[in-house]
Structure 1
């Protein structure tokens, strides 16, 4: 099996350190869409938060309702700026003694710095655990069968604007079942099952699982098709949660004060975020190369947004997640570099 690393293809990529593909990216995509494949995502940063007050503390400093987080539960959270812009996004897995937060490659340092800054006299001890823990993802409809004791993920609906007080249930807005696995944790998520395993045992565990391998290219294609945003890819310094579909998974609308809450509440009540995330179809006539991240999206020669992640999908062709101005109509004739682009309104 030919292994091609991300850095072999793009030495400057933020995703360096994991396989891009194993010789046939399209076959790997089909594997993840129809069966199950194992994707090495061990380039993700991991922060450990032990301490008896971790749940109530994380509850007060993030967007998620975490005060009642129990062992064998997981969710997602955001850290916002005072103006409500997204600074950090992490998935959470709680094992009863520690909350494990995994985030994008390169984002761990900023997340840990924020957590340390907000400790005060709270009984918590956040630390960088990236050298200890590696993230592996089992992706596809067959992933759940490998861990039948993990409940399907549940994501609550975003309440209507000006919802009645007390109508949003207490507790995390997204619920991901967690259990112990090979000295680490297994977490059920929308695309399959994430494994947080001891980094020193990563290769041993991959071999023991005996699941066909797929590279990060295939994972990214599936992620784009499912319209799941990434911090730093579909976000910039101005992004707010309502623009990129993170309200349901990561924001509790009635949990009390946190940094940036005023902006979240105001935008939600008005129902008009300045921008929105869309899936674009690119014609690929002038160029068969997916456009680079941050390539402008233009309407009549005027920039109206930017490309986050562009991929070549085995069924959809060349597609991209983009963030565009809210008032760009679904039937607009857009362009991205040399390619014509159209919004998928589905």
Structure 2
């Protein structure tokens, strides 16, 4: 059986499996697999001011970013809502990044508008550069332009390859699809911006404080909201991982409402992404109201679910972040 592409959603056109999603997941766990992420957007920021310029705008501390050290930054709106996620690595002269599918055009346009007198040049590189992720040794792949590894790269490495090199991977063994990759991501509790978040999501709700959000820097757009909620605790919502009833032969869809099992008529959250994990069974990430009891049994339509806490409902200065 050949590789099958996604037909809809943000990953439309990308390969979701190559015949055996369970085998593909096991290959990733064994350290042999790779995943084509070439549908993601790629951009670069060149110029001597690139790190200090982005440091001033994003949630991440970038002024002293060492070459080849991967990191993640967010761009927030004035109310602290997440607009963009930037997965970054610097080569000493150019900052490379990738972002969610379909978002690079808006991201590059925004950054370009913010250049003012800064000595930077922002370029959409998606047409000539592609991202491939692997848990295998990167040395076995076509020579990458740069590689990135960070806490949120799921134990693997992002390879920035010339897009022409994708043809050399066509017959490469141990290919896995997005179903395997997404199952690994959800099991790790790593949210995708725009899929596990909505237009109201603030960083405090999704467990990225101390990771994509540096808690000892300020003076970026949206920082007031992040700091206020951090100082006071109790974000409006919290990210959870759902363990879904495997006896029901379906996965909840993106945006499907979640309710308490004892009060199914009263929604308390929504599903972001879901997958079938080869060991854990059907799982999902979801945002629920902070006030939802951490031991409450939940239901998503006709699918029963239990929750695993990823973000403490009281998270703030007096409580250690659930994830970083």
Q: Same fold (TM over 0.5)?
A: yes
Structure 1: 5+ residue stretches without partners: 149-179
1:278 pairs, out of 240, 246, 267, with: 240
Which stretches of structure 1, 4 residues or more, deviate above 6 A after TM superposition?
none
Number of residue equivalences: 304
| CA deviation after TM superposition for structure 1 residue 35, in Å | 2.5
- Give the corresponding residue for 2:168: 204
Which residue of 2 is the match for residue 195 of structure 1?
159
Q: CA deviation at 1:34?
A: 2.7
Q: Secondary structure at the match of 2:255?
A: coil
State the TM-score, normalizing by the size of structure 1: 0.83
C-alpha distance in 1 between matches for 2:242 and 2:215 = 30
Structure 1 counterpart of 2:197: 235
Partner of 1:50: 46
Secondary structure in 2 aligned to 1:101?
strand
**Which stretch has the larger CA shift, 114-123 or 224-233?**
114-123
Equivalence for 2:61: 65
- Secondary structure in structure 2 of the residue aligned to 1:248: coil
Cα RMSD after superposing both structures: 1.9
Displacement of 1:270? 1.1
- Spell out, residue by residue over 1:273-304, the C-alpha distance to the aligned partner (whole angstroms, 9 max, x if none): 1111101111144x311011000111212111
Which residue is 2:321 aligned to?
none
Matches for 1:157-236 after TM superposition, within 5 Å: 182-189=143-150, 190-191=153-154, 192-204=156-168, 210=172, 212-236=174-198
Aligned to 1:246: 208
When normalised by structure 2's length, the TM-score is 0.89
Tell me which moved more, 109-118 or 226-235.
109-118
Which residue of structure 2 aligns with residue 88 of structure 1? 84
SS state of the match for residue 257, structure 1?
coil
Structure-2 separation of matches of 1:97 and 1:106: 26
SS state of the match for residue 79, structure 1? strand
The answer to whether residue 258 in structure 2 is matched with residue 294 in structure 1 is: no
User: CA offsets per residue over residues 136-164 of structure 1, 9 Å max, x none?
Assistant: 0003xxx3x5569xxxxxxxxxxxxxxxx
Quickly say closer, same or farther: Cα 1:202–1:146, change in 2 above 3 A: closer
- Displacement of 1:24 after TM fit? 0.4
1:5 match: 5
SS at match of 1:63: coil
